[in-house]
Chains A and B, each alone.
Chain A
Amino acid sequence: MYWLSVLIFLPLSGALVVGLTGRFSAASVRWIALAITVAELLIALGLWWSASPDSNGYLYIVQAPWIPIMGIQFLLGMDGLSLLLVLLTALLVPIAILVSWNSIRHNWPTFAALVLTTQAGIMGVFLALDLILFYVFWELMLVPMYFLIALWGHERRLYAAYKFFLFTVTGSLLMLVAILGLYFIHGEQTGIYTFNYFELLHTNLPGNTGMWLMLGFFVAFAVKIPLFPIHSWLPDAHTEAPTAGSIILAGLLLKTGAYGLLRFCLPLFPEASVDFAPFAMVLGVIGILYGALLALVQEDMKRLIAYSSISHLGFVVFGIYAWNQEGLHGAMLLMLAHGVTTSAMFAIIGMLEERVDTRLLPCMGGLLAPMPRMGAMLLLFTLSAMGMPGLANFVGEFLVLAGVYQVSAGLAIAGAMGVVASAIYLLWMYQRAMLGELSSEHAWSDLDHREMLILGLLAITVLWLGLYPAPFLNYLQVPASVIIELNTATLVGIEDALRRSD
């Protein structure tokens, strides 16, 4: 299916045309970018439509030689997990463009080109199955993001962009080392030097090597997720980025980290990951509680949501390393839910900032009266973020906790406390922003049609994910069971080894 390549190269070529020719006015660039991203969305929906959920393994595969002498291929594949994340990407990027419609005031062509390039990179990350190709896309999404933050961000944008770049590049270099290590070990063992994911799956890693290589991948992904000790880039980057940047960062870039764990870290190094799972879960639970606590005392709304992202992504890691049906399904679904919910929150904060001219909670209050529609929308997404049943995040969080409970009740209790804590900080945020006395008599306009369209789309998605997640869960059945088989196979392998040593 060459459509997979189209998913990547359509925005890339769009970015080249828009960014390099410089022939278009700002007004037409917006429409062109929107058209390209909507076309992406339609392609993604078409792929969803024509895919049958029961087919085993990969729904679509694209394979072409790239640098055959080194065993590098242009290998794209889409399974259920990639499909859902591609859909998420295809949904959120047009929304990011729509959100920036009026708020980006200078240099639209470059902005659009950067957004489209980022989209191409993210699509590539979710589709690539050749490790070098994956690495290329991994870096490809990083660079335009850096410029998005550094050129259109807020006050401390340069610092934030620099920090973001430094953290992620460090992580991804470690991943590159690990990729090469895996490549050579596999080559020595089998005589086939290749970066093909499917071939590398069967690498037999002796002793500690697996653990070290796994850690190389893990650090790269943990920076992106981000996990507790290496999260510090995220609040800065989220806060300083323009609204579209925050949406892409929170909605998509963070997901690439979790996706990497699911696609590469666990399947490539099952033994090492099994050993590492308890540590990862503890890191996850620290992230949940730490993020929730810090979110409580933030005064900048964007920063608050950034910390809440740390908390929510902690649940995702939690679910991934619980490594059972419920946990994995929950983690994958929570990735989608968090992407939609948090993007909507950032979009609303962007709209608020356009009107009120501040993101600081102490300067707001009573905004529900002049802007009832915005207040209602913010309430909806706030509720979703705090895990209200019937909305998106609940299903994910519930499944994650149900899965973790089977592994360790103590961790599940700690995670459940995170759910309570999320109610505390989110309601406190909502109250400070929307309720209470109105501070000034300024005449504020409520949401206009464009903004209602954005939030309406996201609201429908949130309700859909919350009330009828079955269509999405269907696609996750196969990827989840593949990963679970790895775990059981590992456990069986360990048992066999023990039996043999007896």
Chain B
Amino acid sequence: MSQFLWLIPGTPMLGALIIALLGGLLQRRHLAIMATCAAAIAFLVVLLTWLAGAATSQPLQQTLYTWIAVGDWNPTIGFILDRLALIMVSVVSGVGLLIHIYSISFMAEDSDQRRYYFFLNLFLAGMLILVLADNLLLLYLGWELVGLCSFALIGFWYHEPMRASAGRKAFITTRIGDMSLALGIFLLYSQFNDLSLSYLLANAAAQWEAGSQLAILTALLILGGAIGKSAQLPLQVWLPDAMAGPSPVSALIHAATMVTAGVYLIARTYPLFELAPHVQWSVAAIGAITIIYGASAALAQNDFKRILAYSTISQVGYMFLALGCGAYALALFHLVTHAFFKSLLFLAAGTVIHSSGNEHNIHNLGRLGNHSPLVRWSFLIGAASLAGFPLITAGFYSKEAILTATWSAPAGPLLWVFAAFGVLLTAVYIFRVYFLVFQGSQSSASMPSVSGSMTWPLLILALFSLIGGFVEFPEGWPAPHLWSTWLEDEFKSVVLPPLAIAYSLQFITSLLPLIGIVLAFVLVRRKQIGHSLPIIVFLRRGWGFDALYQTMLIQPYFSLARFLKNTDTLLVEGTLQKLTHACLIFATACRSGVEHGVLDKSINGLLAGLRFGYARLSATQNGLLTRYALMISAGAVFLLSYWLW
């Protein structure tokens, strides 16, 4: 099976290439089908690896070729498929396929489908490379590739400068995180002279002591990369703006897959984090604060998709919390369920927005009213799963597991309080949306039908949002723990609180969503009250991070650049000008002083002397023969007399 591993990222890549090179020859519709086929083949290969027993066997490996060869360091283009990668690959290719199918109708009207499907396929390839990479360099390639596709797809409708800027903002913000990751890679490379993941992790654990400086530094740098990609505090500012892209893109890239790359990265390099307990705890802390941040900001938004974006920030916070508490398997569990319900929510939201003429404001959407029951029900399922509605939704199981595991971490109860408060807020904000949009008005105008290729993804995702959680039941329940047993070899198992505490925690966690839903209902009833309270405005602006960065970083950066541009003229050009000027003055002085004063005068004097002598001598040259004769004879007499003397 392992010799077909390259097909998983290879087919979407090939699809992208064909679209790029030959896309001009294909019709719009065929482009969509081609891209979908590429995604489908990738998904099929993943399914085949499941069938071939990848879930139970040793990791599959394939090395394609040596990428760079410098000295004795030879990073390769090579893939590894272990259980962690298998989860990610399944989610990415599965959700990716569904989103491709959804896009067929969603983007049918758009005139620039070639670009859309090129980047969508390229994204899929990049994401699959990221999760399959067997060394950090290749992982970094995938990492940047998905960032690029995210940039291009956020700014897909580039005619509006706002959307193009949002793409750029996303790229640059994540690039700051990427820089941190790259520095981490440099550090690891300078220590171990190799970037192969298995080698690094084994050797780091063997060579570094827990809590050593290098381990802390490496973990921090990698965490920086993860934070950027996963939109955690303080690099979360790009994600809400990223909603400028088409809804399927938001569902795929900014909810299900790319933003969870940070989670994957930390889970992949978890031995490094184990070596730096403080950093690991700060992962949890960042997660906890981000949960509150995202949930509270979502509460105050009016833009449908921005709510979901803040919700994503908040939910990825749960995954970080789990990672920080050492519950890697549970973080991945939440990653999977979140991928289902969040892309379901995005697709439902996309359908609503699409059919209502691109209206994003939830109040207006509620007034418009006519939403098809399919969308309404699927959104309800997604919302319930997101809120963690007890027992019947996948979100409940994954979130509950994380909360229970949090309790026994260092400063666990504090983190738990944050997370639990997040659960409450989550239920409030998402059901606020639900009530506002779907219950707001009861007008029963003609229901727009949802076309086939949009229906199936909704149905499938809704199904998984409900049943996806049944692989891991809460601690202490008489039901299987398939998930954590399956991942036991990959990660160490989690320390869980005693059963009594666990039960009470579970009780509270089940109660909180219900309270939240009631609160949301009340809130919507008293709608518009406190609409412009300062706190609401503060929350709506995402705690003012954008403004802060604008004044603290972006403006100073630009003014520094402008300042340098001006000083460049002043400094470099000015110095040059001065230098030239000085040279000119010196040259002038030389001309008047040396040239005119000394050299010219001496030459002139010499000339005058010569001229004088010439004038005297030329008098003898008078043409009078007798004078010449006289001279000759005088000369002869003189010589003779001299000789005779």
Residues of A within 8 A of B (CB): 229, 231-232, 290, 293-294, 296-298, 325-326, 329, 366, 368-369, 372, 376, 379, 383, 388-390, 394-395, 398-399, 401-402, 405-406, 409, 412-413, 416-417, 419-420, 423-424, 427-428, 431, 434-438, 467-470, 473-474
Contact = CB atoms under 8 A, between A and B. Distances in A.
Contact of B179 (A379, A390, A420): A420
Interface stretch (B413-421, B544-552, B562-570): B562-570
Interface stretch (B153-161, B204-212, B355-363, B523-531): B153-161
Contact of A428 (B143, B168, B185, B562): B168
A416 B65 contact: no
B183 A388 contact: no
A403 to B, nearest CB: 9
A326 B70 contact: yes
B392 interface: no
Interface stretch (B97-105, B169-177, B512-520, B535-543): B169-177
Please list the 7 inter-chain residue pairs (A to B) with the smallest Cβ-Cβ separation, ordered nearest first: A389-B141, A435-B164, A435-B158, A405-B186, A325-B71, A293-B561, A296-B561
10 contacts: A293-B560, A379-B152, A388-B145, A398-B137, A405-B183, A405-B186, A405-B187, A412-B186, A473-B69, A473-B70
A231 B73 CA distance: 35
Contacts of A405: 183, 186-187, 189-190
Interface of B: 20, 65-71, 73, 112, 115, 137, 140-141, 143-145, 148, 151-152, 155, 158-161, 164-165, 168, 171-172, 175-176, 178-179, 182-183, 185-187, 189-190, 557-558, 560-562, 564-565, 568, 572-573, 576
B164 A436 contact: yes
A121 to B, nearest CB: 26
Contact of A436 (B65, B158, B561): B158
Contact of B145 (A390, A409, A423, A428): A390
A14 B332 CA distance: 67
B183 A416 contact: yes
Q: Which of A290, A294, A423, A437 has the most CB of B within 10 A?
A: A423
Provide the main secondary structure of the chain B interface.
Answer: helix
Q: Which of B73, B144, B176, B178 has the most CB of A within 10 A?
A: B144
Given A390-B145, A398-B137, A401-B182, A368 B158 contact: yes
Given A296-B558, A388-B148, A427 B565 contact: no
A419 B158 CA distance: 25
A232 B560 CA distance: 19
Contacts of A395: 68
A325 B182 CA distance: 19
Given A438-B159, A473-B70, 17 more contacts: A231-B572, A293-B561, A294-B564, A297-B561, A297-B565, A326-B71, A372-B112, A376-B20, A390-B145, A394-B144, A401-B186, A405-B186, A409-B187, A420-B172, A424-B172, A437-B159, A470-B67
Contacts of A428: 168
A229 B73 CA distance: 36
B145 A389 contact: yes
A234 to B, nearest CB: 11
A421 to B, nearest CB: 9
A387 to B, nearest CB: 8
B165 A431 contact: yes
Given A401-B186, A405-B190, A435-B158, A420 B560 contact: no
Contacts of A420: 172, 175-176, 178-179
A402 B144 contact: no
A329 to B, nearest CB: 5
Contacts of B176: 420
B183 A413 contact: yes
Given A402-B190, A470-B68, A436 B161 contact: yes
A406 B190 contact: yes
Contact of A423 (B143, B165, B171, B576): B171
A294 B565 contact: yes
Contacts of A366: 158-159
A468 B189 CA distance: 20
Nearest to B189: A402
B242 to A, nearest CB: 15
Contacts of B145: 388-390
A468 B165 contact: no
B189 A417 contact: no
A416 B155 CA distance: 26
Contacts of B175: 419-420, 423
Contacts of B187: 405, 409
Contacts of B568: 232, 294
B565 to A, nearest CB: 5
B59 to A, nearest CB: 24
Given A293-B560, A297-B561, A427-B172, A325 B70 contact: yes
A389 B145 CA distance: 7
B140 A389 contact: yes
Contacts of B67: 467-470
A412 B217 CA distance: 15
Contacts of A383: 148
Contacts of B152: 379
Contacts of A329: 70-71
B182 A398 contact: yes
Contacts of A431: 155, 158, 161, 164-165, 168
Contacts of B557: 293, 296, 424
Contacts of B151: 427
A435 B65 contact: no
Contacts of A468: 65, 67
Contacts of B65: 468, 470
Nearest to A431: B164
A412 B190 CA distance: 12
Contacts of B115: 372
Nearest to A292: B561
Query: Which among B151, B155, B175 has the greatest number of chain A C-beta atoms within 10 A?
Result: B175
Contacts of B186: 401-402, 405, 412
Given A297-B561, A412-B183, A229 B141 contact: no
A369 B564 contact: no
A437 B68 CA distance: 42
B572 A232 contact: yes
A240 to B, nearest CB: 15
User: Which among A294, A389, A469 has the highest number of chain B CB atoms within 10 Å?
Assistant: A389
B182 A390 contact: no
B553 to A, nearest CB: 11
A398 B141 CA distance: 11
A462 B562 CA distance: 32
Given A423-B171, A424-B172, A232 B68 contact: no
A423 B68 CA distance: 23
B68 A473 contact: yes
Nearest to A330: B70
Contacts of A406: 190
B137 A294 contact: no
A95 B182 CA distance: 35
Nearest to B559: A297
Given A389-B140, A427-B172, A297 B69 contact: no
Most buried by A among B137, B140, B158, B562: B158
Contacts of B576: 232
